[in-house]
Amino acid sequence: MSRSKAREHALKVLYAKEINPNTAEISADISDALSEKGKSFSDFLVEQVQLHRDEIDGEIVRFLKKWSLSQLNIVDKNILRIAIAEFNYTYEDKADRKVIINEAVELAKVYGGENSYRFINGILSAVTGEKNG
């Protein structure tokens, strides 16, 4: 459960930073709900997304059909970024790709639009299919 909450927290932080790039930190109330390990994992995901944004966005764009990255809503874009960052840059205690996709789909069901979860599942399945194939 700790990683689920950490991914959710990372999404909220990235969303806040995209809406207002001057946002220093998201409210302490949200991060206080995380364990130390969860906070560390959330911070790691946010850092990896920020460090590797261009490469991650490049992976997303390769699988968009008739869409550009700028057309994606902020939530969907950041859910994809978090999952791809976890696929590519987590080396210790790495979750299975199916678990990462499922977690992203669950975030999309809660925070995304009506069909966001299908879109997220499709893009991430394509990304992981290419990496496995």
Per-residue pLDDT tens for 73-131?
999 999 999 999 999 998 877 788 999 999 999 999 999 999 999 999 999 999 988 66
For the chain, the average pLDDT equals 89
Q: Domain range holding 117?
A: 2-132
Token pair of 30 as six digits: 């949200």
pLDDT, residue 32, reads: 62
Q: Given pLDDT bands bounded at 50, 70 and 90, which one contains residue 26? A: low
On the 0-12 / 13-18 / 19+ scale of CB atoms within 10 A, 10 is buried
pLDDT given for residue 91 in this prediction = 80
Q: What percent of the chain has pLDDT over 90?
A: 69
Q: Is 36 exposed, middle or buried (0-12, 13-18, 19+ CB in 10 A)?
A: exposed
Residue 94 has what DSSP assignment? P
Number of domains in the chain: 1
Predicted pLDDT at 133: 47
Q: What is the CATH number of the domain that holds 123?
A: 1.10.940.10
Q: What is the distance between the alpha carbons of residues 63 and 19, in angstroms, rounded to a whole number?
A: 25
Output the pTM of the full model: 0.90
Distances (CA, A) of 119 to 22, 104, 130: 30, 11, 17
